[in-house]
Structure 1
């Protein structure tokens, strides 16, 4: 009943503010085309292609599968980590419980996005982009090591049984492109929807409570859609000394758009989201701190 009330409430908000809704959706679409698609699509295709081409190896040590999941998942951008872990779970390279834990660790923005978009375009300093990328992976690797210790403790999860290699009937590259297109559609849909929703709610809050529209929109868009949030923060908050740390915090929060993408992908293989939530809290707390000391 509550869900229905929320949905109808949002429908009326969109009807009452069609211009704001359109503007927010347009911002989300532009960000997806300019800031996400060029950085995300090539890596998703290559990651999927590699996973579909590589044969399952029954002799491979379990820790090597963890490293494989981290390397492929954490350097491709959101939500490549979820895609990688989900694909490895489908292939029985890791168990469902192992996948749920690795889902939390194999989650990071792509280096092309952080260095190219955030560092060069937002910070105007590629060095700061590198520092932010290092901070993110330092925090992620620490969490990954903790996860690995848990996975290999006395109460470790059962090892996944890898099936013997089978002859593939399809073409791995074409299969990779097909699967990647589904992920890209999911990313585009969530980015545009949550950008529009954030803009509508920001305008409502600003006009109702007499708050600064720019700051309100920055906060709400950061909660709903990360890329739109960092874009708005650049417009309204770039003059602050702590601006780089604010961007690090927004990227660590990720936004509901990315969390929704991960949840949809994880659901396809019944991966638990509880470790993922813990991992996000870990990142929100530590990434800005590590980034501060690196700067």
Structure 2
């Protein structure tokens, strides 16, 4: 047998054996994954049987949260974002803000709709608006993935009201947290401005045909229907994670993990109590920031922890966003990397701002009254405030779109006059 034939057969045997090993490893990974999922489901079922009353109480708290806070605060903004996209206002608004969005974030001006609504409406309005813009054909796939990294943010009502006034009893803390949250989001957008530049150069990410603007009646009907389905989706995830947090605490899993990580990070100054709060915030944002109330840690550390939770957003909100991304064909890499980076940068900026702007705690009687007033808001009052805010934003978008249209028509008329004079 020739040496070349021996080498070829040996290489073939090695390749075959290596392929079989790869198949075995993949099967083992699949078995481990299936076992882990089954074990997790079995443990959840056992916990529900062991703590039925606590699970029912957690579910009731989740329903109260959905009915009194989430539905009245998010539903109007969902309808608003859908109306802006369906009526074609995003394109007019985009032409006005193209000189700002393109140099900063390397996205079209129409993406500014998601950027603005994401900061005002809160989670997950920004991500839902981006996906609506992409499905409508207003932005490319690359632009949508860039926007997902930084446009899904916490709203000012949650940061000022719940975190600032409710948790820290200080409007100054709320202001600094909102500044850190905003600056960190913009920095993430700047860092991801070149994401997918190679794909964009090939032209394969652009939507072929943009959907035409709808008349008002069908646009309004579609907006209400899609927003209602989105609210059901979000409320389902809120209920699930509210019960999950309760079960993880009752079964001692979160305290056990906190104790283990506390011993591991003790040399760095992180105790078990801080780790437990951080783990809670990583899973669910509202529960995490609420656990910071009355924390024994320093104000700087508590602010940095709250800023990280606000930037990271929690697995509950991530599940809501993933339910929107699932059928869009968009990659989730930029979203998860962006949220992790957003949380880290927010914590850094909050620590810096807290040391620059020194303030005293606790706040006066006015803030205590403010907290009680916000806590006593009824469903109707919260819905009125949210609808009023959404209406004002819609008026702003309409005025801006009409001004952009008038400018474009005037520019066309001037160009026509110049061409006629040249002739």
TM-score by length of 1: 0.86
Q: CA deviation at 1:80?
A: 0.8
Indicate whether 1:198 and 2:257 are aligned.
no
Alignment correspondent of 1:180: 227
Aligned mates of 1:53, 1:21 — CA distance in 2:
44
CA deviations 1:173-193 (Å, max 9, x no partner) are 332222111221122111111
Aligned mates of 1:129, 1:64 — CA distance in 2:
30
Aligned mates of 1:154, 1:130 — CA distance in 2:
39
Alignment correspondent of 2:78: 44
CA deviations 1:18-70 (Å, max 9, x no partner) are 12222322333333334433332222222222222225749955531333332
Matched residue count: 293
Alignment correspondent of 1:85: 130
Q: CA deviation at 1:273?
A: 0.4
Indicate whether 1:274 and 2:319 are aligned.
no
Aligned mates of 1:119, 1:186 — CA distance in 2:
28
State whether residues 195 and 224 of structure 1, in contact with CA within 8 Å, keep that contact through their aligned partners in structure 2: no
Aligned mates of 2:130, 2:346 — CA distance in 1:
23
Cα 1:210–1:55 change in 2 (3 A) is closer
- What are the equivalent positions in structure 2 for 1:104-115 lying under 5 Å apart? 104-115=149-160
State whether residues 277 and 292 of structure 2, in contact with CA within 8 Å, keep that contact through their aligned partners in structure 1: yes
Which blocks of at least 5 consecutive residues in structure 2 are unaligned?
1-33, 99-106, 260-271, 355-423
Cα 1:128–1:207 change in 2 (3 A) is closer
Range that drifts further, 271-280 or 71-80:
71-80
Q: CA deviation at 1:162?
A: 4.6
Cα 1:123–1:35 change in 2 (3 A) is farther
Query: More relative contact order in 1 or in 2 (CA 8 Å, sep 6+)?
Result: 1
Alignment correspondent of 1:5: 39
Cα 1:20–1:106 change in 2 (3 A) is same
Aligned mates of 1:207, 1:291 — CA distance in 2:
26
**Cα RMSD between the aligned structures?**
3.0
Larger radius of gyration: 2
Match of 2:295 among 228, 237, 246: 237
TM-score by length of 2: 0.62
